[in-house]
Amino acid sequence: MAEKTFTRKQVAEQGTNKNVLFVINNDVYDVTKFIDEHPGGHEVLIAVTGKDGTEEWEDVGHSLDAKELMVKYKVGTIVAEERVEVKKKQYNWSNNNTTDTSDSGLLSSWKFPLLLGIVVTVLYSYLFT
């Protein structure tokens, strides 16, 4: 089944107070029927109608339940040439971790347990032999 595609201009034109349509992570959602049930209130959803609400959505830190629920309101995706890179905020720290500190830190990888083993062995031989 081919997914419906939208340009950002189409979302801007079709998204109104009465037809609450917005973009989150390159997908298009129509929450017109959901606004009165939204735990965060209808105003915030109407505020992003016709726009890209990815940042606002991420800032709230929506739960897994909310993520499962939003699938129900997905009506399409943004055309390939207008998609933006989806930032994975929660993984940034671990990316930095692997690139920046690489293998050099004392506490990283196998070095710390090895050092601890040597210290314990030396102490043991001093104390008990």
Residue whose CB is less far from ligand HEM, 63 or 121: 63
Alpha-carbon distance of 49 to 88, in angstroms, equals 23
Min dist. Cβ of residue 53 to ligand HEM (A): 4
- The CA distances from residue 16 to 4, 12, 13, 76, 78, in Å, are 19, 8, 8, 17, 18
Cα end-to-end distance, the chain, whole Å: 76
Min dist. Cβ of residue 12 to ligand HEM (A): 15
Min dist. Cβ of residue 56 to ligand HEM (A): 3
Question: How many other C-beta atoms can be found within 10 angstroms of the C-beta atom of residue 57?
Answer: 21
Alpha-carbon distance of 113 to 56, in angstroms, equals 44
Residue whose CB is less far from ligand HEM, 11 or 48: 48
Structure-block tokens of residue 64 = 């897994």
Min dist. Cβ of residue 112 to ligand HEM (A): 38
Residue whose CB is less far from ligand HEM, 43 or 100: 43
Site residues for ligand HEM per CB under 6 A: 29, 31, 38-40, 44-45, 48, 53, 56-57, 60, 62-63, 65-66, 69-70, 73
- The CA distances from residue 48 to 21, 25, 35, 42, 88, in Å, are 8, 14, 12, 10, 21
Instruction: Name the residue number minimizing CB distance to ligand HEM.
Output: 40
Residue whose CB is less far from ligand HEM, 12 or 70: 70
